[in-house]
């Protein structure tokens, strides 16, 4: 059982404060991880329409490459077309990444970026691949 902070406050208030802050940081990190995992699970369920349908690996690999090659700033249209081609997509068939209420990609001026839903798909895919 953890010591009561009030009992140790008399001994060294600065150390007690540091200890309490460290415990609070651990709790906040755990809550953030749990909320992230819950959000990813909910997004997966919504994205699958509740049917358990999974996206093909090549579809998800395109999203991973958009993030890897473009980061927060995204890719230009030619860079996105090259990513699509590397994964077997014809340039004309890439429009599906931008359609629907949960489109994984969006256009922002002349850049191609992941949407929050696209980021969730990437996170889930990478978690699935992790050993």
| Number of structural domains in the chain | 2
Residues 61 and 19 placed together within one structural domain of the fold: no
* One pLDDT digit (tens) per residue for the chain, 131 residues: 556 655 555 678 888 888 888 998 898 888 777 777 777 676 666 555 444 456 788 999 999 999 999 887 899 999 999 999 999 999 888 999 999 888 999 999 899 999 999 998 998 888 888 77
Q: How far apart are the first and last CA of the chain?
A: 34
Assess if residue 52 is contained within a domain.
Answer: no
User: Which two structure tokens, joined as six digits, stand for 130?
Assistant: 């992790």
Judged by DSSP in three states, 27 sits in: helix
Residues 67 and 23 placed together within one structural domain of the fold: no
Residues 62 and 22 placed together within one structural domain of the fold: no
Q: Tell me if the pTM is above 0.85.
A: no
User: Which two structure tokens, joined as six digits, stand for 59?
Assistant: 């579809």
Residues 37 and 99 placed together within one structural domain of the fold: no
Judged by DSSP in three states, 54 sits in: coil
Query: What residues make up the domain containing 96?
Result: 57-129
């Amino acid at each position: 059982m953890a010591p009561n902070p009030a009992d140790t406050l008399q001994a060294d208030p600065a150390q007690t404060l540091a200890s309490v802050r460290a415990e609070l940081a651990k709790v906040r990190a755990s809550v953030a991880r749990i909320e992230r995992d819950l959000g990813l699970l909910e997004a997966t369920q919504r994205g699958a329409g509740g049917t358990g349908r999974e996206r093909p690996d090549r579809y998800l690999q395109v999203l991973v490459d958009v993030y890897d090659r473009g980061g927060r700033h995204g890719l230009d249209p030619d860079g996105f077309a090259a990513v699509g081609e590397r994964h077997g997509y014809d340039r004309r068939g890439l429009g599906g990444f931008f359609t629907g209420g949960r489109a994984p990609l969006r256009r922002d001026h002349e850049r191609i970026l992941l949407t929050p839903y696209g980021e969730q798909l990437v996170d889930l895919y990478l978690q699935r691949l992790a050993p």
